[in-house]
Amino acid sequence: MYNRGVGRIFFSEGLRYWRPGGEPGETPGKVENKLSSYLDFLKDPRAYPHRAAEVTLLQTHISYVFLAGSYVYKIKKPVDFGFLDFTTLARRRYYCEEELRLNRRLCPDIYLDVVPIRQEDDRFELGGSGGRIVEYAVKMVRMPAEGMMDKVIEAGNLTRQSLEKIVEILVPFYQQAETGPEIVEAGSRDSVAGNIRDNFRQTEPFVGCPALSREDFDRLRAYTEGVLADDKLFRQRQEEGWIRDGHGDLHSGNICLGERVWIFDCIEFNRRLRYGDLAADLAFLAMDLDYRGQEQHSIWFVDTMSGRLNDPGLHGVLNFYKCYRAYVRGKIGLLTGQDREVDESTRAASLQRAGRYFKLAVLYAEQS
């Protein structure tokens, strides 16, 4: 067991942050100490029961990710963004277990366990049986960094063969994906409208920043409201059976390529963002390919999925969902850029990406 360090707590832009082990009502000093203590503990290679020559900490707006030797440990930040709420230990445990269950649909060999972090006095332990549980981590096999699809694209090495492997995995996944009345309802116009309008509400406080102009915000909201006015479009997709329990976060950052392909990190924290038209899932990866300058691969991917799923109507809703997905990525860039825990270079890069995503969303709106 191991302990050291001090930390901090903050409130920003109406978003509430409580640090691991801390709940609303605790004094800032108490929460700060818990935060830094066990994060520092997990940065030390001695914290792990397996060999870890070095440990690297990565952050998103909702997670701490520790790369430790052959394994990865992912901890949920105790944040409330409206579309997710990890502010209690019980919630974080539940969503860790959901992350394990849902991602085993596509990666049973990668998602291994939910591991407790325990504290006894001022000492911490990963796993074990002594002390009280102060946090939970999802334990995963570490995939090869050089195989991450976004890195493969950056290196100019994405091939049609790799896309074919992705298609071969996704077609049966969607064909077998769960459906039912609750899931089908998620594809209704009102449900889709709720998700999209939430995005606009959550980003409106940022309008006028360099990443999101008032003109683009108003243009995108008007475009999406225009599409949402056509209830028949959404009812047809429901009646044809295209509303499923999908992945929810299908982009190149969540795909690893190699002799085999892993598609990981689906959305576990909000069913509304995972249930929906499979076109919304496919549009995410197609949009991501467009964003990365892979337009021809994007076209091939959509055409191939449409053909193999026998879904000719996919093209009719594609730009709408591409616009939605680009806007979501822009929103995430804004949120990451506002997290005071990230360093200045990460903040600047996040806001720059957000601006590019919002401009891409405008392009899809103009092409529709």
DSSP 320-350: HHHHHHHHHHHHHHHHHHH-TTS-HHHHHHH
Sheet holding 111-120, edge to edge: 55-59, 63-68, 71-76, 132-141, 111-120, 123-126
Q: Between the CA of residue 167 and those of 163, 199, 215, 267, 310, what are the distances in Å?
A: 6, 29, 37, 20, 13
Domain contains 301: yes
* Residue where a domain terminates, one of 95, 118, 142: 142
Whether residue 274 contacts residue 267, with contact meaning beta carbons closer than 8 Å, is answered with yes
> 4 lies in a domain?
no
122 and 213 share a domain?
no
Query: Does 205 lie in the same domain as 340?
Result: yes
Q: What is the pTM of this model?
A: 0.84
Task: Judge whether 2 lies within some domain.
Answer: no
Whether the per-residue pLDDT at 27 is higher than 90: the answer is no
Sign of CA dihedral 300, 284, 208, 344: negative
- Within this chain, do residues 130 and 158 fall inside the same structural domain, yes or no? no
Q: Are 244 and 287 contained in the same domain?
A: yes
Identify the CA nearest to 57 among candidates 357, 346, 363, 361: 346
Q: Which segment of 9-13, 250-254, 313-317, 343-347 scores lowest on mean pLDDT?
A: 9-13
Query: What pLDDT is attached to residue 1?
Result: 36
- Report yes or no on 6 lying in a domain: no
For residue 4, pLDDT beyond 70: no
pLDDT at 259: 82
Give residue 35's pLDDT.
52
Tokens of 123: 């000492």
State both tokens at 207. 């309008």
Query: pLDDT tier at 16 (50, 70, 90 boundaries)?
Result: very low
pLDDT of residue 298 exceeding 80: yes
Mean pLDDT along residues 115-136: 92
CA 249 – CA 246 distance, rounded (Å): 9
Q: Bigger pLDDT: 123 or 19?
A: 123
- CATH at residue 279: 3.90.1200
Residue-wise pLDDT for 170-190, tens only, equals 999 999 999 999 999 999 999
Q: Are 351 and 362 in contact (CB under 8 A)?
A: no
Amino acid at 280: A
Query: Is residue 88 over pLDDT 90?
Result: yes
Using alpha carbons, select from 320, 229, 307, 240 the residue that is nearest to residue 280: 320
As for how many domains the chain has, the answer is 2
Q: Which helix (H) or strand (E) holds 234?
A: helix 231-239
The whole-number pLDDT of residue 11 equals 25
Report pLDDT for 346.
Answer: 87
Same domain, 125 and 161: no
Average pLDDT, the chain: 89
pLDDT reading at 8 higher than 60: no
**Angstrom distance (rounded) from CA 278 to CA 69:** 36
Examine the domain organization and report whether 181 and 324 are in the same domain. Answer: yes
Tell me: do 108 and 182 sit in the same domain. no
